[in-house]
Amino acid sequence: MTLVHGWGRYPVYESEVCAPSSSDEVPALAKASTDFVARGAGRSYGDAAIGTVRTISTRALDRVRSFDPATGRIVADAGVLLADLIRTFLPQGFFPKVVPGTRFVTIGAAIAADIHGKNHHRAGGFGDHVESLLLATVDGGVLRASREENSDVFWATIGGMGLTGIILEATLCFQRVETGWIRQKTIVGSDLAATMAVFEANSAATYSVAWIDGLARGAKLGRSLIYLGEHAKRGELDNKAANRLFPEIGHPRLSIPFTLPNFVLNPISVAAFNEAYFRMGARKAGSRIVVGADPYFFPLDGIGEWNRIYGRRGFVQHQCVIPDKTAASALSDMLDLITRRGDASFLAVLKKLGPAQGLLSFPLEGYTLALDFAVKPGLFPFLDALDKIVVKAGGRLYLAKDSRQSRATFEAGYPALERFRQVRRALDPSGRISSRLSQRLGL
């Protein structure tokens, strides 16, 4: 048995970890296992990638099977990291159509969580760009699923958090890009209403994301820096950037060598950081700059193991999405509670999402707010209060970030749950696939 946890280092469970060395071994392993779930790079925050008895690592399923430069179509094993695909294909002028805030995620898990990027309102989720997948099922078989073939399994697997089987391989499409640079424009949102107005006025922007000052109160509640981005064309670059059309996608430049004491991140240090960060960003507002894809999409990947800064007890992320209609008042209520408590982290992110098709996919048309909190006494009742606002507003919480929501909150947020359960029962009648998350939520 091994101690296993997600990116938030909370919760920690014992699990037997198996690591098949190729996809050929997976069907027999799935047939011989009970109470198991697949695991990719362990970048989901909570308990989704921890099997109740066995955790099957897909990291050795790392082959790119084919690439068609005419269409950008890639066939890859589920354990291949987005980081490796970007490093290989960006210099050839191809980039994923959807990327999350870290490139260290596997293809299998990007599908299983139907991850979203800063362009969900325009491009949809990762699953929208998957043509087909191969799924190892509990009976030892391998099933091909796509929009045309086994489509019920396809839509249950996209966003299904590993609970339909183990994805072995996927066929997906990358987009063509002329350069590896992003034209970035920063806009200041003086409060929540102004921030949301900027999103609405810039809905045609390819990428948009806001950093929210989770400690600003009163008239400044919800003040933010909004970053808009477009893939830069060759002719839009200055000489220096044009000489290096595809800047290097780097390795972590800094690393947190050990878990920091719990007191390092305190309201004073975070408030000081937020104030300095906001002022620095506001000074650059209005100007257009060109930044590499790496720092634009994956700013935190530059700091190895940054999840250690929250101390030994770990941290949780509360990520909700609120429908457009109720977003302004629910987000305002949530930010009000958060700022009164005063210990939100400096990582508070607001994005626009569009609709999604996966039965358990997180996105819906509205605003998603994500905030990190160090685990400490009193935190969970406080997060329950945030959940109440989310549920009342018709929203939901993201399973890939979750480690503590209640069954009732989950069930209220996912209306296609019963259809998901039907597909799951047909594939796995005795419920042999089981993660700590599925057990907790009765999935």
Ligand X SMILES: Cc1cc2nc3c(=O)[nH]c(=O)nc-3n(C[C@H](O)[C@H](O)[C@H](O)COP(=O)(O)OP(=O)(O)OC[C@H]3O[C@@H](n4cnc5c(N)ncnc54)[C@H](O)[C@@H]3O)c2cc1C
Whichever of 108 and 358 has its CB closer to ligand X, that residue is 108
Q: How far is the CB of 6 from ligand X (least distance, A)?
A: 6
Which residue number, 209 or 327, has a Cβ lying nearer to ligand X?
209
CB closer to ligand X, 339 vs 435: 435
Min CB(40)–ligand X separation in Å: 2
CB 130 within 8 A of CB 111: yes
Q: Which helix (H) or strand (E) holds 74?
A: strand 73-77
Residues in contact with ligand X by the rule CB under 6 A = 6-7, 37-44, 48-49, 58, 78, 100-102, 105-106, 108-110, 112-113, 115-116, 161-162, 166-167, 300, 400, 435
Q: Which conformational region is residue 327 in: left (phi greater than 0), alpha (psi within -120 to 50 degrees), or beta?
A: alpha
Whose Cβ is closer to ligand X: residue 40's or residue 124's?
A: 40
The least distance separating ligand X from the CB of residue 371, rounded to whole angstroms, comes to 13
User: Shortest Cβ distance from residue 116 to ligand X (Å)?
Assistant: 4
Measured from the CB of residue 443, what is the shortest distance to ligand X in angstroms? 10
Structure tokens at 294: 């790496």
| Nearest distance in Å: CB 271, ligand X | 22
Whole-angstrom Cα distance, residue 436 to residue 39?
12
Residue with smaller CB distance to ligand X, 111 or 383: 111
Instruction: Pick between residue 21 and residue 287 the one whose CB is nearest to ligand X.
Output: 21
In terms of DSSP bridges, do strands 366-374 and 348-353 run parallel, antiparallel, or are they unpaired? antiparallel
The residue (of 20 and 189) whose beta carbon lies closer to ligand X is: 20
CA distance 160 to 152: 12
Q: Which is nearer to ligand X, 256 or 337 (CB)?
A: 256
Q: How far is the CB of 42 from ligand X (least distance, A)?
A: 5
Write the DSSP string, 125-137: -GGGGEEEEEEE-
* DSSP three-state, residue 191: coil
Q: Which residue has the tokens 């078989």?
A: 141
d(CA 371, CA 349): 7
CB of 385 to ligand X, least distance (A): 24
Tell me the closest approach of the beta carbon of residue 82 to ligand X, in angstroms: 9
Cβ 292 vs Cβ 177: under 8 Å: no
**Of 127 and 221, CB closest to ligand X:** 127
Comparing CB distances to ligand X, the nearer of 339 and 403 is 403
CB nearer ligand X, residue 188 or residue 400: 400
Task: Select from 41, 42, 90 the least CA-distant residue to 250.
Answer: 90
The total of other beta-carbon atoms located within 10 Å of residue 417's CB is: 17
Residue 422 token pair? 């039907």
> Using an 8 Å Cβ cutoff, are 181 and 244 in contact?
no
Q: How far apart are CA 138 and CA 156, in angstroms?
A: 15
Contact in structure between 414 and 396 (CB atoms under 8 Å):
yes
Q: Following DSSP, what letter does each residue of 94-114 receive, concatenated?
A: EEES---S-S--BHHHHHHTT
- Name the residue among 300, 296, 314 with its Cα closest to residue 104: 300
- Least distance from ligand X to the Cβ atom of residue 220, Å: 25
Give me the least distance between CB of 351 and ligand X, in Å please.
8
C-alpha to C-alpha distance for 294 and 87, rounded to whole angstroms: 10
Burial status of residue 67 (CB atoms within 10 A of its CB: 0-12, 13-18, 19 or more): middle
Alpha carbon of residue 160 to chain centroid: 14
Phi, psi angles (nearest 5°) of residue 326: -105, 0
